């Protein structure tokens, strides 16, 4: 006989504290899943993610690939009849998952790029040439042309522990 | 003359600089001054960075907002839904939660000496064009261009979450369509208009095949409506449609950012629009 899992209110409390404050308002109608463009293409069911967060099923939700199939399009958030801030719940869960080391390598690389350069896209020689041709400053007037400004952004990463988080690598 | 801090972000200046030069020219011709934000960084992007660490995401955004606050401008202008989402949402959070603002400002001050004061308006260029410039003033600038059938793609983070952005109805919006029509095009309805391009939330980086499935469905619906061109208001959606069609192979619909479309309609020199770097050829 299958055994029912015990809810873990402690984990639900952590989700609420991390920004998912409306999680307990959900009554599982499924408007979110029915509205989800990602769920139309995959087995991702946003209603189930919210349910697992409500019940505190940490081990079902944090390592799950599903958590990362949300494009944060906010369609479910707009349509939810209970005003559940679904994207905020997903963001809270993702932040918790990353702290446990669940991060995909392509994401880690993007995060490392911004942590080191202040931008998430690289500046290549061909970009400078094209910018020059269009009459734009070859190197954009951002952290790319201001080493002191880049130091500030790096310092924020250090103070938040973001550089270490990203260097930790994928689980 | 209205004056805005011009927030560049990443994809526009580095992968589609034609969107940047078109934006600069279009706003100049409308009498709006754009001032560069020296030392600004990535917004940071709401997909991966907000997913990883919201404290870092908010503090870097607060730094960008603090730079704009010191510039004595009417607001900070974004031409990207992602940049708009991060800067608008972080400003909103910090303006409505004094404890959170204190926490973020402590890190920001330790790192930069600056603080976020809550004095800067965050503007999306489509909303600024609609509300401040007006559809009629745009129409008056149009010198030509073809009457093409346009699939207007709003993307997600321009209007949503609508409870804080308060720009237009998130389900049945019109502001962007009205501008495209003022520029001489016909905005055609298509099935599931308003659906995500597929790229957001880190999905493009982590599972590009899933992102492309969503893109492909939108392209199928746009094709069924017989459109000549896709018009977007976000360089990330722009990248997804432009590069995505090359991977998918079965579609060849030209993709224009609204700034490029207005550049064409206003009769700006075509070589200022950077259309030759588009991966899906633009023959308009």
pLDDT in tens, B24-64: 999 999 999 999 999 999 999 999 999 999 999 999 999 99
Distance of alpha carbon B165 from alpha carbon B131, whole angstroms: 14
A20 has a pLDDT exceeding 80: yes
Q: How confident is the model at residue B145 (pLDDT cuts 50, 70, 90)?
A: confident
Distance of alpha carbon B137 from alpha carbon A85, whole angstroms: 38
The arrangement of strands across the sheet holding B122-124 comes to: B33-36, B3-7, B75-78, B122-124
CA B23 to chain centre: 11
Chain B residue at shortest CA distance from A123: B14
Distance of alpha carbon A95 from alpha carbon B57, whole angstroms: 11
pLDDT in tens, A70-89: 999 999 999 999 999 999 99
Q: How confident is the model at residue A2 (pLDDT cuts 50, 70, 90)?
A: confident
A171 has a pLDDT exceeding 60: no
Tell me, what's the ipTM?
A: 0.96
Contact in structure between A83 and A25 (CB atoms under 8 Å): yes
Chain A residue at shortest CA distance from B52: A95
B271 has a pLDDT exceeding 70: yes
Asked if B179 is an interface residue toward chain A (Cβ–Cβ < 8 A), one would say no
A130 has a pLDDT exceeding 80: yes
pLDDT (mean) for A122-146? 97
Chain A residue at shortest CA distance from B7: A142
pLDDT (mean) for A25-40? 98
Asked if A68 is an interface residue toward chain B (Cβ–Cβ < 8 A), one would say yes
**What's the longest Cα–Cα distance across chain B?**
55
Structure tokens belonging to residue B219: 């392209």
Distance of alpha carbon A137 from alpha carbon A141, whole angstroms: 7
Q: Is the pTM of this model over 0.90?
A: yes
pLDDT in tens, B182-193: 999 999 999 999
pLDDT (mean) for B105-115? 98
Predicted pLDDT of residue B247:
98
B239 has a pLDDT exceeding 60: yes
B177 has a pLDDT exceeding 60: yes
pLDDT in tens, A89-108: 999 999 999 999 999 999 99
As a whole-number percent, the residues of chain A with pLDDT over 70 amount to 98
Distance of alpha carbon B280 from alpha carbon A48, whole angstroms: 38
Asked if A146 is an interface residue toward chain B (Cβ–Cβ < 8 A), one would say yes
Does the distance separating the beta carbons of B199 and A114 come in below 8 Å? no
B147 has a pLDDT exceeding 70: yes
Asked if B41 is an interface residue toward chain A (Cβ–Cβ < 8 A), one would say yes
As a whole-number percent, the residues of chain B with pLDDT over 90 amount to 96
Predicted pLDDT of residue B36:
98
Asked if A118 is an interface residue toward chain B (Cβ–Cβ < 8 A), one would say yes
Does the distance separating the beta carbons of B13 and A152 come in below 8 Å? no
B103 has a pLDDT exceeding 90: yes
pLDDT (mean) for B154-176? 98
pLDDT (mean) for A17-43? 97
- Contact pairs from chain A to chain B, CB under 8 Å: 207
Distance of alpha carbon B92 from alpha carbon B117, whole angstroms: 12
Calculate the average pLDDT of chain B.
Answer: 97
Contact in structure between B75 and B103 (CB atoms under 8 Å): no
Predicted pLDDT of residue A126:
96
Task: Give the closest of A124, A136, A143 to B21, CB-based.
Answer: A136
Q: How confident is the model at residue A66 (pLDDT cuts 50, 70, 90)?
A: very high
pLDDT (mean) for A64-73? 97
B146 has a pLDDT exceeding 90: no
CA distances from A80 to A83, B168, B266 (A): 5, 18, 42
Contact in structure between B78 and B122 (CB atoms under 8 Å): yes
Cis peptide before B260 (omega within 30 of 0): no
Q: Closest Cα to residue B198, out of B248, B164, B149?
A: B248
Q: How crowded is residue B131: how many other Cβ atoms within 10 Å of its Cβ?
A: 11
A1 has a pLDDT exceeding 90: no
The residue of A39, A114, A163, A171 whose CB has the most chain B CBs within 10 angstroms, and thus the best one to mutate to test that interface, is A114
Contact in structure between B252 and B245 (CB atoms under 8 Å): yes
């Amino acid at each position: 006989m299958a055994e029912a899992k015990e809810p873990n209110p402690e984990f639900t409390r952590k989700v609420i504290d991390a920004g998912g404050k409306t999680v307990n308002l959900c009554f599982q109608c499924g408007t979110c899943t029915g509205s989800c463009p990602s769920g139309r293409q995959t087995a991702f069911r946003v209603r189930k993610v919210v349910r697992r967060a409500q019940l505190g099923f940490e081990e079902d939700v944090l390592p799950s690939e599903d958590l990362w199939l949300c494009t944060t399009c906010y369609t479910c958030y707009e349509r939810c009849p209970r005003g559940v801030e679904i994207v905020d719940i997903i963001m809270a869960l993702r932040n918790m998952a990353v702290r446990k080391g669940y991060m995909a390598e392509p994401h880690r690389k993007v995060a490392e790029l911004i942590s080191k350069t202040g931008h998430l896209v690289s500046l290549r020689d061909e970009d400078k040439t094209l910018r020059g041709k269009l009459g734009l400053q070859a190197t954009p007037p951002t952290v790319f042309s201001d080493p002191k400004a880049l130091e500030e952004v790096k310092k924020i990463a250090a103070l938040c522990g973001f550089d270490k988080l990203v260097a930790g690598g994928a689980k | 003359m209205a004056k805005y801090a011009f927030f560049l972000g990443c994809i526009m200046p580095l992968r589609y600089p034609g969107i940047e030069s078109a934006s600069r020219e279009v706003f100049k011709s409308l009498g709006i001054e754009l001032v560069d934000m020296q030392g600004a960084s990535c917004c940071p992007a709401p997909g991966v960075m907000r997913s990883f660490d919201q404290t870092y995401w908010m503090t870097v955004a607060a730094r960008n907002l603090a730079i704009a606050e010191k510039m004595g401008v009417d607001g900070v202008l974004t031409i990207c839904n992602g940049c708009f989402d991060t800067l608008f949402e972080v400003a909103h959070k910090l303006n409505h939660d004094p404890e959170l603002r204190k926490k973020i400002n402590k890190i920001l001050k330790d790192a930069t000496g600056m603080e976020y004061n809550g004095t800067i308006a965050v503007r999306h260029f489509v909303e600024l064009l609609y509300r401040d410039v007006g559809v009629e003033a745009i129409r008056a600038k149009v010198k030509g261009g073809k009457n093409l059938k346009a699939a207007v793609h709003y993307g997600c983070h321009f209007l949503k979450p609508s409870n804080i952005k308060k720009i237009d109805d998130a389900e049945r919006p019109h502001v962007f369509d009205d501008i495209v029509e003022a520029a001489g095009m016909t905005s055609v309805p298509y099935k599931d208009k308003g659906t995500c391009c597929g790229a957001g939330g880190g999905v493009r980086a982590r599972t590009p095949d899933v992102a492309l499935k969503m893109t492909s469905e939108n392209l199928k619906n746009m094709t069924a409506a017989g459109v000549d061109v896709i018009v977007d208001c976000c360089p990330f959606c722009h990248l997804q449609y432009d590069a995505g069609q090359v991977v998918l192979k079965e579609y060849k619909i030209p993709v224009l950012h609204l700034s490029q479309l207005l550049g064409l309609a206003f009769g700006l020199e075509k070589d200022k629009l950077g259309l030759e770097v588009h991966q899906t050829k633009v023959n308009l």
